[in-house]
Amino acid sequence: MNRRGLLLSVAASGLVAACGGGGSSSSSSSSSSSSSSSSSSSLPDPATAPALKTHFTGHFKIGFAVDPGLTTQSPTHELLLKHASTLTAESVMKANPIGVSAGVYNFTEADKLIAFAEANGIAVRGHALVWHQTSPSWFFDGDRSDMATYKSLVRGRLETYITDVVTHFKGKVYCWDVVNEVTSDDASATYRNSDWYQIFGSDFIDYAFRAARAADPSVKLFINEYSTEDAAKRGRLMTIVQGMLDRGVPVDGVGHQMHINTGYPSAAQVEAALSDVEGKGLINHITEMDVSVYNDPVSCFSGTGCAAQISTGTAAFNTAMTAQALKYRELFDVFTAHASVECVTLWGVADNHTWLDNFPVTRKNYPLLFDQVGDPKAAFWAIVDPAFVP
């Protein structure tokens, strides 16, 4: 497994707040916060920053992952209003907060996010209907001595849940991540060996997509995955996708999470990922992008050898901000060159709130386009101004 595969595999197994749309309900901040967390004091005046949603009109929707509590807080509130054409629920639209028990739902927090988006003309991405990390245990309750009856029971729960949830949000959500992280990280297998897979094999994927399509014929349906830039893992994902297409499963696109760092991946690797999806006639979405400033060794994800915290105002920080800006520019140039890329979502809004502050160790990270007080960083200027020199 490559470094990013290891990072996200550990994240999925140990932190719901990690890849696939986790997220804490509390804001992560640092005492080293400053009015300028970017690489240079000579950055353009923040007041001159163009709205991202306007700048990328004609290419793709652009937005952020956020939960409702942050939408009323500064700087998140102001940044969303100015820049977001789409948003994703960081955690409140997953099955564990919504699915209280079979047929019993709690839509309170998700509905708050929908209301904020509707009031401000922002589209909403539904995330995620089926993820092994957030599937409530009641889905799997029952007597397994008669597997045919048991499988019918669990399938019914899954299809009812998806039907009811998609129906609840019909007309309010423009696309859904129907299944999340179903590809194996192990080269010896194609599918992740989740509870869903152990019961149904790959059939649960078909059940989920068909139920979602029946509940909302107009919503776009996605399979969402991390490490798609890794050729080996992407090969397994494409095997899954081709099987779905062969069976007539109604999949519209692939979501590429894109939790990356300043040194990985290359533009060529991302280009290959997008091209492979285009080859299947499907849409590309970038669903969870952030660019860590730490290029840790593999051992860090087992708790040793992690890079030391970088603090604002240091030479190391300035170097990291420059590298980050160049990586964002490099990859946004790839995104804009592909008409199949219809949405780019950042996993967080500003550096005051990011899951990477707590993964793989507790250490302040700065992975987003806006600093801790909401000012545009070098990374922001790099993607909106080709003449800007980070």
Within 10 Å of residue 152's Cβ, how many Cβ atoms? 12
Judged by DSSP in three states, 125 sits in strand
At 290 the three-state DSSP class reads strand
Q: How many other C-beta atoms lie within 10 A of the C-beta of residue 196?
A: 26
End-to-end distance of the chain based on CA atoms, in angstroms? Answer: 33
In the block, which residue shows the tokens 């399979």?
Answer: 223
CA gap 39, 314 in Å, rounded: 9
181 counts as catalytic:
yes
Other beta carbons within 10 Å of 104: 10
- d(CA 40, CA 177) in angstroms, rounded, equals 38
State how far the Cα of 126 lies from the Cα of 94, in Å rounded to an integer. Answer: 9
Which of 303, 313, 330, 301 lies closest to 366, judged by CA?
A: 313
Q: What does residue 285 show for φ and ψ, rounded to 5 degrees? A: -125, 140
Nearest CA to 335 out of 56, 70, 35 is that of 56
Question: 3-state class of 370 per DSSP?
Answer: strand
For residue 58, the tally of other CB atoms under 10 A from its CB is 7
- Which amino acid appears at position 306 of this protein? C
Given 109, 229, 288, 342, which residue is catalytic?
Answer: 288
Q: Which of 231, 209, 207, 229 is nearest to 220 (CA)?
A: 209
CA dist 378 and 390 (Å) reads 6
Strand-pairing partners, residue 30, are none
Catalytic residue among 181, 225, 229, 342: 181
Q: How many residues does the chain have?
A: 390
By annotation, the residues acting in catalysis are 181, 288
